[in-house]
Copies of this chain bind each other. A is one copy, B any other.
């Protein structure tokens, strides 16, 4: 039962330099140093404790989040943290809050869609948090279909104002984080109406609450949309509902970088290319991919450590049972997730580069790679978030019954993570976009328009044509199959970028070897998972499939002695993991036992309600009981 010894002995078995792997995972020595320092700073600050989160009522939970957010901002100011350090601090506080939307959506949107003057007016206020902003796009009736939004912004030439209005119940803004209780301002998306003509959806800066007493301004109804999945989890966020009753804002609060409404009520396009908005989208999505690798690696770290501590069946000669990590069924579920965490890390790193590349090209008015970059980020966002959501739940299952306890950290991690599959583009809708792009790319082959970036492989026309592809039905009819094709395309990108990473110079004893094993596991696991596609297209033979499976098994054995060290390389503090099962020291059982007693139900030995509801049953006095 000595979890301590188990993990120490596991660590001594590692065949590679863990410290060097930490650098690889972090991206650079500098990033490792910053994240290490900031994560410890957060872990050691009692205000940032997370251990009672799942036991709090909604109100107490929310108030505690406000406290943490204020404290975080205070520390950022006091310690004069750099932008990078401040972002790391918010990340390690690890609690969804209005701050995320203020820094992650409100400010970037003004930067991306506001004119120079608008930026000069609003950004200094936002940077100092003299105003707090959110991003009010989705409505009760419209999520994915942004062009279907119903909120209206009607230009009134008499007063030089826009009238923001919610004409129907379904036009109520619904979901925006930070809206429900905190934000003073929002970027609101609505249909621009001039002289009864509908010019489609545009963004507007709207003040929601008084800066004096925080009350909603006249004509504005706001509230929280209620409890979401899980205890703790995303309930720290005030996702909100918002209705406008003819609320007036000055004309200059329409975001006018790309198109402007003049004093006379004319809509004119600026000379700024509209494609610039894609820059923001690529930025946000690469961030989501990077977050996916964090969430998945966190779950994998917990499940891997606990699998080395937990023993069950298979009494060994020394009288103790077998570590569950030694079971092949456990390895065949856990190690592909370990490999996925690394794979997503590296593809996320590459997306960062892609974002910079796209931005540079945009500055130079080169839009040639934009569709490909857009499809790429959309597809990778979809693939990595879906795999991460499923992977977290799989890690929970790999922890057996105890994974169901909140103290394992996994239920909350799952509940807090899964919105990533929906926000910033529903994962299926995104894959359909990728599919459309792929079909377009294929249809343009031979037309002289060369495929670029991640679609270069499609240029090998002859090969593609050899495949027995006889698409005669329409896109919609075949959409379920096309979604699978889009996934395959994205998996190719993930594998390619992992391989490219391995072609770089990777120092440190044994580090490259471990990464090669993980890369091969990822690729072979994907092959195994989609075996039907590979076999039915004749890409591989049954014999090859069987060899690949054997190779996969052998790679699991190769990774096994390094598993604990490979999750240690994520360099996560126990605070960040917030899991009794994933503790660095492996001291699982005493701490599980200790945690149990903290539940409010254990405040008294005899439970509240005994006299009214249990005693009358036992004493057969229920007939007269008032329930």
Interface flag for A400 (CB, 8 Å) = yes
Establish whether residues A312 and B145, one from each chain, have CB atoms under 8 Å apart when the complex forms: yes
Interface flag for A535 (CB, 8 Å) = yes
Q: Which residue on B lies nearest to A330, using beta carbons?
A: B428
Complex Cα spacing A326 to B97, Å: 36
Interface flag for A291 (CB, 8 Å) = no
Establish whether residues B223 and A596, one from each chain, have CB atoms under 8 Å apart when the complex forms: yes
Q: How many copies does the complex hold?
A: 2
Q: CB < 8 Å: which of B327, B422, B478 contacts A401?
A: B422
Q: CB < 8 Å: which of B70, B418, B597, B605 contacts A625?
A: B70
A569-627: which have CB < 8 Å to B?
589-590, 592-593, 595-603, 605-610, 612-618, 620, 622-623, 625, 627
Q: CB < 8 Å: which of B478, B592, B614 contacts A182?
A: B614
Contacts of A589 in B (CB 8 A): 140-141, 169-170
Contacts of A215 in B (CB 8 A): 605-606
Q: CB < 8 Å: which of B228, B393, B423, B606 contacts A405?
A: B228
Contacts of A477 in B (CB 8 A): 328, 553
A494-540: which have CB < 8 Å to B?
528, 530-538
Q: CB < 8 Å: which of B67, B180, B229, B480 contacts A329?
A: B480
Interface flag for A219 (CB, 8 Å) = no
Q: CB < 8 Å: which of B141, B432, B479, B612 contacts A67?
A: B612
Q: CB < 8 Å: which of B1, B609, B613 contacts A168?
A: B1
Complex Cα spacing A327 to B404, Å: 35
Q: CB < 8 Å: which of B63, B66, B226, B426 contacts A400?
A: B426
Establish whether residues A59 and B228, one from each chain, have CB atoms under 8 Å apart when the complex forms: no
Interface flag for A80 (CB, 8 Å) = no
Q: Which residue on B lies nearest to A535, using beta carbons?
A: B535
Interface flag for A109 (CB, 8 Å) = no
Q: CB < 8 Å: which of B57, B73, B535 contacts A536?
A: B535
The interface bits of chain A over 263-283 (1 if a CB of B lies within 8 angstroms of the residue's CB, else 0) are: 000000000000000000000
Complex Cα spacing A527 to B534, Å: 15
Establish whether residues B602 and A214, one from each chain, have CB atoms under 8 Å apart when the complex forms: no
Complex Cα spacing A549 to B606, Å: 59
Complex Cα spacing A129 to B168, Å: 54
Establish whether residues A546 and B536, one from each chain, have CB atoms under 8 Å apart when the complex forms: yes
Establish whether residues A59 and B401, one from each chain, have CB atoms under 8 Å apart when the complex forms: no
Contacts of A407 in B (CB 8 A): 226-227
Contacts of A422 in B (CB 8 A): 397, 400-401, 404
Interface flag for A132 (CB, 8 Å) = yes
10 closest A-B pairs by CB: A531-B532, A229-B411, A332-B480, A66-B613, A535-B535, A63-B609, A70-B613, A227-B406, A536-B542, A66-B609
Q: What residues of chain A have their CB less than 8 Å away from a CB belonging to chain B? A: 1, 47, 54-59, 62-63, 66-67, 69-71, 73-74, 77-78, 128-132, 138, 140-145, 148, 168-170, 172, 175, 180-182, 184, 211, 213-216, 222-231, 234-235, 238, 241, 311-313, 321, 327-329, 331-332, 393, 397, 400-401, 404-407, 411, 415, 418-419, 421-423, 426, 428, 432, 476-481, 483, 528, 530-538, 542, 545-546, 549, 553, 589-590, 592-593, 595-603, 605-610, 612-618, 620, 622-623, 625, 627
